[in-house]
Chains A and B, each alone.
Chain A
Amino acid sequence: MWTTIFISGISLGSFYVLVALGFALIFGVTRNFNLAHGDLLVLAGYSAYWLWKAWAFPFVFTFPFAILVILLVSLGLQRLFSRLRDPIELNSIVLSFGVAILIQNSMLFFFSGNYRLIRVPILSQGIRISGFYVSYSQLTLLLLSLVTIGTLYMLMYRTYLGKALRATIQDKDAAALAGINVAAMGTLSFCIGAVLIGLAGPLYGCIHYLYPSTGHEATLLAITITIFAGVGRLNGILLAGWILGLAESLTVVLCGASWREMVSAVLLLTLLAFRPHGLLGKGEG
């Protein structure tokens, strides 16, 4: 039983990492909280669903399509965010809250409130590894997350562009003085975030029922992980995601599935109450 919890926790956690990375990157670079993040994920899922269902494309093609859709929406969103005045963090919350409602209602309009699911038969099958069953969807989640995180790591720590991004995250003004185009970094972070959501969305549509209001949950997860890892830092996101995934799996087994939704909320509240700058970030003076 513990191994099942572990496997499902890690794969779930890996998925959460994929979802949270974009959110954390955008926040780190632009100081914008995007409360529509989860709804963008659902939108990506719906886009994939539409391509798969209405146009009968094979599942793999839904990934580039979803990425394209979310890129367009994200760039539009970024234009809105760039017009915000101080205090940017709070105003971005209120703005994105409104955008989330817009996106939710659009999805409601186009797809109705019925639950949708993308059926990819191969993903529900699995393999046995030393006596334990792992489904292909869990494997895909794990592998995709690791590959993505690896790629992002390479970008952030091995390229000059990544250095510029990290500089902007640390100190926007200093980065600008050093000649970095801070606005372009912002746009780049939105684009990377969009790609990440575009990758996660179609998978989301396979493992989770799609309905317009389900994005809120994903947003809360992204927020929790970002704050857990340390606001503005990316290093701890993998660890944070896995811990959250494991905590949720444990809760499902011990208390029942319906208590799962409270785990991230309680975790976030505890973090904010005691260490708003994250467990791995620096504390307040």
Chain B
Amino acid sequence: MIFFTQKINPSEIKVYRVGLVLGFFVLIVLPLMVQSNDYILQVFTHALLLASLALAWNFLGVSGSISLGHAAFFGVGAYTSALLSLDQALSPWFTIPVAGLLATGLGLIMGLICLRLRGAYFALATLAFVEVPRVITDNWDALTRGSLGLVGISGLPTLRLGDWYVDFGSSITASYYLVFVYSFALLGLVAFVFRSNMGLAFQAIREEEIAAEAVGIQTNRYRLFCLLISAFFTGISGACYAHLVRYIEPSLVYGLHFSAIPMIFAVCGGRFTILGPALAAIVLYPVDQFIFHPLLPAGHEFLYGAILVLAVLFIPDGFLGRRQNA
């Protein structure tokens, strides 16, 4: 299998570059291509949202920390935006960023408790951490309707410029484009940050933390920064999710699924790359939905487990992280 070799060969790079450009254009014109098929559009909308989730997760992953509890931020984001727009009738243009901020606040708490830990112990701490907001949300019936979940959440918001407006919640196509713009904007931000000196600092921290400190890098600050940014965008993605599917419940948005998926996409796509997590999401999720789901209605998500196991054993740096020199 050429994709699982340790070294990339030069011809592969060419194919890859062409594929990227092609893929980008396909994504732009996708709604036109699949005029009659709402389902395909929904799947790709979801794939793009998961791409943004994976990119957000990777903001933390790039500094060397592996979080298994990011659903904490996803869930907080989803619930904050849903509740504010439901109970206070506020526009999602407002509630989504606020959701991101609240998720960041939770990230600060996680940072205070967990960032003193490294490696395996940090991962275990995040595994435990997510249970706290989950159980609280599940039980605080008065605020969150508890385990019944929230229904009838408003759709994605409307953009008004003078007389012209577009309601992103009104059609699948409109929602698709909003999520598309969001995920590509996030991708742009990731590219900017990772290519700057900050990216250099992240690499130094994850490769040799002690040496990084010895040359003047404030490792604790950088790691906290990564966690907060990661939490912020994960919260935003969670909020978008709430307005996209318009129904959420604690066991779903705080569940293992949304903790595992971004981690798996990032690890398999390339934890230390810019594009890796997004690429993995856009490729794997549709594969799961279009190919495996019809074959195995129950248990099709084994794909994610399988790909994670293969990645850890054979390409630990991820598909795009494979070494370039022969």
Interface residues of A (CB under 8 A from B): 33, 35, 80, 83-85, 87, 89-95, 97-106, 108-109, 112-113, 213, 216, 220, 223-224, 227, 256, 258-259, 261-262, 264-266, 268-269, 272-273, 276
Which A residues touch B312, using CB under 8 A?
84, 91, 94-95, 98
Which B residues touch A272, using CB under 8 A?
113-114, 117, 121, 124-125, 128
Task: Given A93-B124, A101-B301, A101-B302, verify A265-B129 contact (CB < 8 Å).
Answer: yes
Interface residues of B (CB under 8 A from A): 66, 68, 113-114, 116-117, 119-121, 123-125, 127-129, 131-132, 135-136, 138-139, 147, 256, 260, 263-264, 267, 296, 298-302, 304-309, 312-313, 316
CB contact between B308 and one of A97, A105, A223 (< 8 Å): that residue: A97
Q: Does B305 contact A90, Cβ atoms closer than 8 Å?
A: no
Which B residues touch A98, using CB under 8 A?
264, 304-309, 312
SS class, residues of chain A in contact with chain B? helix
CB contact between A273 and one of B114, B119, B296 (< 8 Å): that residue: B114
Q: Does B299 contact A269, Cβ atoms closer than 8 Å?
A: no
Which A residues touch B256, using CB under 8 A?
213, 216
Which B residues touch A87, using CB under 8 A?
119-120
**24 intermolecular pairs with C-beta atoms under 8 Å apart:** A33-B124, A87-B119, A89-B119, A90-B119, A90-B123, A93-B66, A93-B123, A93-B124, A94-B123, A97-B263, A99-B309, A102-B302, A103-B305, A104-B305, A108-B299, A109-B298, A213-B256, A216-B256, A224-B128, A258-B147, A259-B139, A261-B131, A272-B124, A273-B114
Known: A91-B316, A112-B298, A262-B136. 16 other contacts (CB 8 A): A33-B124, A87-B119, A90-B66, A94-B263, A102-B305, A105-B300, A109-B302, A213-B256, A258-B147, A265-B128, A266-B132, A268-B125, A269-B129, A272-B128, A273-B113, A273-B125
Q: Does B131 contact A223, Cβ atoms closer than 8 Å?
A: no
Which A residues touch B139, using CB under 8 A?
256, 258-259
Nearest opposing residue in chain A for B261, CB measure: A101
Q: Does B120 contact A106, Cβ atoms closer than 8 Å?
A: no
Task: Given A80-B309, A93-B124, A223-B124, verify A258-B316 contact (CB < 8 Å).
Answer: no
Roughly how many angstroms separate A265 CA and B133 CA in the complex, as a whole number?
11
Nearest opposing residue in chain A for B118, CB measure: A90
Q: Does B135 contact A262, Cβ atoms closer than 8 Å?
A: yes
Task: Given A105-B299, A105-B302, verify A259-B120 contact (CB < 8 Å).
Answer: no
Which A residues touch B113, using CB under 8 A?
269, 272-273
Which B residues touch A100, using CB under 8 A?
305
